[in-house]
Amino acid sequence: MSEQAVDERVQVPQWLLQKELAMCPCGCIGKRKKGGYLRKTLNGGAGLLRQVMFSDDTARQRGLLQRVDPRVKFLSMIVLLVAAGLARNIPTLVAVYAVTLALAAASRLPVGFFIKRVWLFVPIFTGIVVLPATLSVVTHGDVVLTLWHWHGRAEGFTSQGLTSAGLVVSRVAVSISLVVLLTLTTPWVRLLAALRSVGVPRIFILIIGMAYRYIFLLLNTVTDMYQARTSRTIGAAKHDGGARAFLGASGGALFGKANQLSEEVHQAMTARGYRGDARTLQAFRLTGFDIAAALCCAALAAAILIGDHFLGN
């Protein structure tokens, strides 16, 4: 994405991008209250912009993975995801996680940010979700820590349950790390071109590329509608039928605007000679560095599978 395009996008006011001081995330001081739907939607939009803009920054730095051809990176990610998916031992997955951390450091990603981005939400959420599965009530097996007795039978954490929980959480963390490594080190446009050259049909690439552009335009429309509503609202936003009617109306208005927009875009494309297909520039050239990276990835995947096999089932 060019500098100009980045600048064009920044239309959400700066105060929305900054986290407000002395305010809890639900957006109120003093008494605890659930955040209103208006504020949540506005914050969601601002968070989206912040995240995408930061990805563009890190992708432009000069690190190890930024130098690798996006096609090689994409295919390597898939190969490693499958290898991690097939691993059956926690030590294997922990080792792969250590490799992703090393790669993040070598690619000049802030390691603290990388860890937070990976662990916040999905793996922690997964940990909470699989917690009950460590108990003998869900996963039967050898009880290693007895918590209570039921009809004379010991119930508690089972070794099978703990193994399973450890496997799932570490596998989720490794998988997300691999995807985040790819997206933080590859500019979005280059990633799309890579998808095209690994066989994703051109129509999908066109749709994805244009959709990405219009997300930000329509995001502005949505935040404008919601901001207009908040500025007209005195007191707290109510959770009533009026709020739901406003939501239906703003959804309907968004569809109407989008429909009109697609008509206009199509007319503009036709005026510039669009006839239903498009040509893309293919500027990728594999270098020795890329081939070395691909070989490293293949070796790593083989090491994961062979090492895991030796650790046993």
Partner 1 sequence: MHIPDGYLSPQTCAVGYAITVPAWAVAVRRVQRVVRNRHVPTLAVLAAVSFLVMMFNIPIPDGTTAHAIGATIIAILLGPWAAVLAVSVALGFQALLFGDGGVLAFGFNCANMAVLAPFVGYGVYKLIAGRSELTAPRRALAAAVGGYAGINAAAFAAAIEFGLQPDLFHNAAGAPLYAPYHLDQTIPAMMLAHLTIAGIAEGILTGGVVAYLQRANLPLLRVNHAGVAADGEKAAAPRRGRPLRVALGAVAVMAVLTPLGLLAPGGAFGEDAPEDLDLHKYGLSAVPSGLNKYNGFWHHALFDGYDFTSDAHPTIGYIVSAVVGIAIVGAAIFLITAAVRWAAARRGATRRHETAEQS
- Residue closer to partner 1, measured from CB, 95 or 254: 254
Is 210 a binding residue for partner 1 by CB under 8 A? The answer is yes
Give least dist CB 61 to partner 1, A: 18
- Residue closer to partner 1, measured from CB, 64 or 208: 208
Among 1, 12, 55, 103, interactor with partner 1 by CB under 8 A? 55
Is 301 a binding residue for partner 1 by CB under 8 A? The answer is no
Cβ atoms of 161 and 133 within 8 Å: the answer is yes
* Partner residues linked to 153 by β-bridges: 150
Is 243 a binding residue for partner 1 by CB under 8 A? The answer is yes
- Go through 128-155 and write b for each residue having 16 or more CB atoms within 10 A of its CB, e for each that does not: eebeebbbbeebeeebeeeeeeeeeeee
Among 10, 17, 34, 91, interactor with partner 1 by CB under 8 A? 34
Is 289 a binding residue for partner 1 by CB under 8 A? The answer is no
Cβ neighbours of 209 (radius 10 Å): 17
- Residue closer to partner 1, measured from CB, 91 or 251: 251
Question: Phi/psi of residue 147, each to 5°?
Answer: -105, -40
Write out the two tokens for 8: 């064009």
Taking the C-alpha atoms of residue 307 and residue 301, their distance in angstroms, rounded to an integer, is 10
Taking the C-alpha atoms of residue 246 and residue 225, their distance in angstroms, rounded to an integer, is 10
Give least dist CB 62 to partner 1, A: 22
- Residue closer to partner 1, measured from CB, 151 or 275: 275
Among 11, 18, 51, 146, interactor with partner 1 by CB under 8 A? 51
Is 302 a binding residue for partner 1 by CB under 8 A? The answer is no
Write out the two tokens for 311: 């650790």
Contact set for partner 1, span 155-184 (CB under 8 A): 159-161, 163-165, 167-168, 171-176, 179-180, 182-183
Taking the C-alpha atoms of residue 45 and residue 37, their distance in angstroms, rounded to an integer, is 12
Write out the two tokens for 209: 């590329």
Taking the C-alpha atoms of residue 85 and residue 107, their distance in angstroms, rounded to an integer, is 24
Give least dist CB 295 to partner 1, A: 22
- Residue closer to partner 1, measured from CB, 163 or 288: 163
Give least dist CB 34 to partner 1, A: 6
Is 60 a binding residue for partner 1 by CB under 8 A? The answer is no
Among 26, 198, 228, 253, interactor with partner 1 by CB under 8 A? 253
Contact set for partner 1, span 96-125 (CB under 8 A): 117-118, 122
DSSP string, 202-239: HHHHHHHHHHHHHHHHHHHHHHHHHHHHHHH--SSPP-
